[in-house]
Chains A and B, each alone.
Chain A
């Protein structure tokens, strides 16, 4: 059982780690936050329409809402609303609609709001699904696996486009790269990942997995490909350490995973050989020493 919890955590970490790098570099970390909240009405509507906690329907509903979120944020910005304000307006309003929908349908809907927000990775292995005759694999692992496969495929095929769009969108556009398409593709993947992860780590903590390992990796390297690799490795480390720390302290597993991520970030911030506070301090001291 602990095996599947760690596998689930590692899958979330890998998917989020890859996408998070692009979000952090495009200074759109908060869009990840926004999407993870505003998918709630999508999940509820999909749930009401399909009448079951069928994850595929929810995945679809949430992905649509994710794209709606990004579209609305873009629209408001173009109409002259400030960037942070338009993100704030869109995601809180959509999230609120989701909360209302859940409360309205509380009796028919067996959808635990706490579970949507915080997830419960500890129960992952209770909900198994048989696919292609393979039994005993948790449903979350299947869904996360498929999501991760989609991420590998899309980012792998179009790595150069995503990279150029992140570094210099004007140049990308001038080269004929459909920047808007890749923007929505990335956002679609973020929505998908958020929903795929929400059962295990929850909507709020998935933001942590999207941003913190990527922000940590950013401090440790000066190559995008290496940054993505580090981000994934850091995420997986958080999943493993987080699980055992939670088991030891008898605390929330998902909470512990992101707490570990936060701690690793602080370690990198202080001790990174290139960007770290300590190295900068040492260099400054040396400079002063030379001049004195």
Chain B
């Protein structure tokens, strides 16, 4: 399933001078970066820093003012099948008449082309993905009857069903229970072990060091970007969050609280 014989020097994602504006007010200004393959990357920044906006602009969901993005060295339009996306949970109507399995099968639609209908093969893949997030027992449950964490895991399973190499996840940890949080982090590490690259918009500063290999600090402009130990520092965080950050030193560990 995984024949990965690309030139290893081609980055999964390069972004060059990306600027996005809502009614002339820039919400993301001149952001450039290159993503190393097989890393878990946390995108951190205050509210309104343009984190979700950046992902949406890369995926072509929002118009950009300027900037180039390439997925494995090619335009996104040609590389859609290499990319998986987990939107924010609140972005859809969970009262929609469908069940968990059906939602996960939607992850296959992009692979089916214009006319092919999802069938037994798609069902099998979807079941497999639900199993991986511990939701196989809930396959036929109506989605509104799932808890927030379970809904998040269904979304994650749907992204898995896309069988992508590069994943974008928009705040997957927000409002989920401890069990789901563990399930997500296990999954992220599994994806990483398969050589896949994952960018995660993240809010909880306390878990950044534990979860991510690389960190991007974003506040409309790029503040810092690199391996977590180099970038996730008190001074750079202060620079990102301004006065809205409280830092408590607790023995050697710096515990950071995002006081929004």
Contacts and interface: CB of A to CB of B under 8 A. Distances in A.
Do A and B truly interact? yes
Interface string B45-80: 000000000001001110000000000000001001
A185 to B, nearest CB: 13
- Size category of the A interface is 20 to 34
Contact of B97 (A27, A170, A218): A218
A173 B60 CA distance: 8
A227 B85 contact: no
Given A160-B109, A168-B92, A174-B60, A222 B85 contact: no
B248 to A, nearest CB: 37
A23 interface: no
A158 B85 CA distance: 22
Nearest to B143: A222
Contact of A171 (B77, B106, B115, B142): B106
Contacts of A80: 23
Contacts, number: 72
Contacts of A171: 85, 87, 106, 158
B71 to A, nearest CB: 12
A223 B97 contact: yes
Contacts of A218: 97
Interface string A215-255: 00010011110110000000000000000000000000000
Nearest to B23: A80
Residue picked from A159, A175, A177, A218, most chain B C-beta under 10 Å = A175
Contact of A174 (B80, B99, B103, B142): B80
Contacts of B98: 163, 167, 222-224
Given A157-B115, A174-B83, A175-B80, A222 B142 contact: yes
Contact of A222 (B59, B99, B103): B99
A174 B118 contact: no
Interface in B135-177: 142, 158
Contacts of B56: 170
Contacts of B93: 25, 27, 167
Interface string A134-168: 00000000000000000000000111110110111
B109 A177 contact: yes
Interface in A106-142: none
A144 B80 CA distance: 40
A227 B110 contact: no
A222 B56 CA distance: 30
A224 B61 contact: no
A161 B114 CA distance: 8
B57 to A, nearest CB: 12
Nearest to A224: B97
A171 B158 CA distance: 10
B91 A170 contact: yes
A289 interface: no
A159 B117 CA distance: 8
Contacts of B102: 223
Interface in B88-136: 91-93, 96-99, 102-103, 106, 109-110, 112, 114-115, 117-118
B141 to A, nearest CB: 9
A176 B110 contact: yes
Given A159-B117, A160-B112, A167-B106, A174 B97 contact: no
A168 B97 contact: no
Contacts of A160: 106, 109, 112, 117-118
A167 B80 CA distance: 20
Contacts of B80: 174-176
B207 to A, nearest CB: 26
Nearest to B116: A160
Nearest to A21: B97
Nearest to B145: A222
Contacts of B61: 170, 173-174
A170 B98 CA distance: 18
A226 B102 CA distance: 14
A164 B99 contact: no
B99 A223 contact: yes
A227 B97 contact: yes
B97 A221 contact: yes
A175 B109 contact: yes
A224 B87 CA distance: 22
Contacts of B97: 25, 218, 221-224, 226-227
Interface of A: 25, 27, 80, 157-161, 163-164, 166-168, 170-177, 218, 221-224, 226-227
18 contacts: A163-B98, A163-B106, A167-B98, A167-B103, A168-B106, A170-B85, A171-B87, A171-B158, A172-B109, A174-B83, A175-B110, A176-B77, A177-B109, A218-B97, A222-B97, A223-B99, A223-B102, A227-B97
Among all A-B residue pairs, the 9 with the closest Cβ atoms: A175-B110, A222-B142, A174-B59, A168-B92, A176-B80, A174-B85, A167-B96, A222-B97, A227-B97
